[in-house]
Chains A and B, each alone.
Chain A
Amino acid sequence: MDPIADLRVKLGSAMDNADWTISMADRLCHACVDLLHVDGAAISLMLEGSSQGTFGSSDGLSRQVDELQFTFGEGPCMDAVRHGGPVFAEDLADVTDTRWPAFTGSVLDLGIGAVFALPIRLANSGVGVLDLYRRTSGGLVGNSLAGGLMAAELAALPLLEMISAEAKVRALGSNEPAWQQLSSLARVEVYQATGMVMVQLGVGPAEALARLRAHAFANGLTASQVAWSIVERELCLEVDGRPQSGGPHL
């Protein structure tokens, strides 16, 4: 098998049968360590530019490094959220790299040589970051970069669960493979319905998607079916979580 395709399958199956959100995120981080030539991985949730905390990691050190960025308010992870793209610190010991003075010093003391921060997107908005760590310096080269980008796509699923939990909508209920779940949300009608739900409930895109998906689970429907009902105005999600049928809502 093509090595990238193989990575895709292995990363995708890492979260199979995980019983709850944190364990999904932890398992994905472990898979990154096993497959991407890195020594640690952590997933943090960021909403409206501020950290909601680290909630998945491959080990205690990764969690500690991740949290240091929030302590100092600087680091590749914060920059990745700000710029909406990957931020790499390939050699933290390089004294000419002065981007994060406080963070860099502390992380070097912990024995970390390189950090790679990959933004996690949900409903096309930045909701978190996957941080990959290595003890030695050097780039995230070859298939590890492609793999890291795929892992960051997959990390949207545990974050979606997390956002659902915060919005107090029950969402865990799919045993579908991870890539299939992501693909079921990547549809024209789902994007459009997400925009409509944003207005109906006065929420951001990620929460709107979480609500739509929760409604699908609760009613044994697919995300696409719920999206069509919303787009065709047969369904309007209400603030209390109970749907109201039909009629224009101006």
Chain B
Amino acid sequence: MSTERQSQITTAFVSIASSMADGADVVDLLSRLTSDCARLLDIASAGLLLADSHGVLNVLAASSERTRDLEIFQLQRDEGPCLDCFRTGEPVSVSDLSSATERWPEFAPAATAAGFAAVHALPMRLRGITLGALNLFNDEPGELTADDLDLAQALAHVASIALVADKAASDKETINEQLRTALRSRITIEQAKGVLAQLGYLDMDQAFAVLRRYARDHNARLSDVAQQVVSRKLAGEQLIAHAVSKLVLPENPA
């Protein structure tokens, strides 16, 4: 492993640890974790899927906020490597998606059509409970090296720890409540993205950037800002104006 890469990995872990110590918003933290993951492993897209109280997988965070990418992750509610990984608690690796159509008749063709060629899923486990899975997509077929898989698994563990921040949470009901809260934050963030997209004629990637920029510059939690946008206590226009002033958005968005 190159020294430069090792240093990038260290920086990523240090940044995650400091955010956790600061009590950062869990969805924001995990969105960054998935972005770090995609960058460090040099893969196309990374996403975290979390099981709800019915054992249904939901997208919690992803390195890309494009709706189509989120949809590919979300497809795994019914079938796919993440669902298999969640059910067995074991990693699932598919180096060539085009040969996986028989195994996943809906998921494999959809992921291939979206431009993905290989997929890997690693379990998120905490104290014997599988919470969900980390999903990695690549646009070239091929295996991940053992080093890369170890790194991805370590990131999945960090994600689990960040999710159940309450160290006293040992029983399933307390853990479930924390997971429910995280999933609700994600729903609110999607709704807020919709509000901003409509107001500023933005795509969902841009809308997320606007939301995140406002939260960071105002030292606020991403999910709190999203909640205020959805309840219209905070005008979406204000967030868009802020993003324009910080050059996150062009002055006349398409």
Report which A residues bind B (CB closer than 8 A). 8, 121, 123-125, 145-146, 149-150, 179, 183, 186-189, 191-200, 205, 231, 248-250
Contacts and interface: CB of A to CB of B under 8 A. Distances in A.
Given A191-B187, A195-B194, A199-B198, 6 more contacts: A149-B53, A179-B54, A195-B230, A196-B194, A197-B194, A248-B201
B190 to A, nearest CB: 3
A200 B191 contact: no
A229 to B, nearest CB: 12
B67 A188 contact: yes
Contacts of A179: 54
Contact of A199 (B74, B77, B236): B236
How many of chain B's residues touch chain A, expressed as a range? Answer: 20 to 34
A189 B193 CA distance: 11
Contacts of B236: 199
B204 A205 contact: no
A18 B197 CA distance: 38
Contacts of A187: 74
15 contacts: A125-B231, A183-B56, A188-B67, A191-B190, A191-B191, A194-B194, A195-B190, A195-B195, A196-B194, A196-B197, A197-B194, A198-B195, A199-B194, A205-B191, A249-B198
A197 B198 CA distance: 8
B87 interface: no
Contacts, number: 78
A47 to B, nearest CB: 13
B231 to A, nearest CB: 8
A112 to B, nearest CB: 25
Which of the listed residues B70, B184, B197, B236 has the most CB atoms from chain A within 10 Å of its own CB? B197
A210 B230 CA distance: 16
B93 interface: no
Given A124-B184, A199-B236, A194 B191 contact: yes
B59 interface: yes
Interface of B: 53-54, 56, 58-59, 67, 70-71, 74, 77, 173, 184, 187-188, 190-199, 201, 204, 230-231, 236
Contacts of A123: 187, 191
Given A183-B56, A186-B58, A188-B59, A198 B190 contact: no
- Chain A binding site: helix, strand, loop or mixed by DSSP? helix
Nearest to A188: B70
Contact of B198 (A121, A125, A196, A205): A196
Contact of A191 (B53, B194, B198, B201): B194
A126 to B, nearest CB: 11
A179 B56 CA distance: 12
B69 to A, nearest CB: 10
A75 to B, nearest CB: 23
A149 B231 CA distance: 24
A205 B189 CA distance: 13
B146 to A, nearest CB: 33
Nearest to B203: A231
B193 A195 contact: yes
Nearest to B204: A192
B225 to A, nearest CB: 14
A171 to B, nearest CB: 20
Contact of A189 (B71, B184, B196, B198): B71
Nearest to A194: B191
Given A188-B67, A192-B67, A195-B230, A124 B187 contact: yes
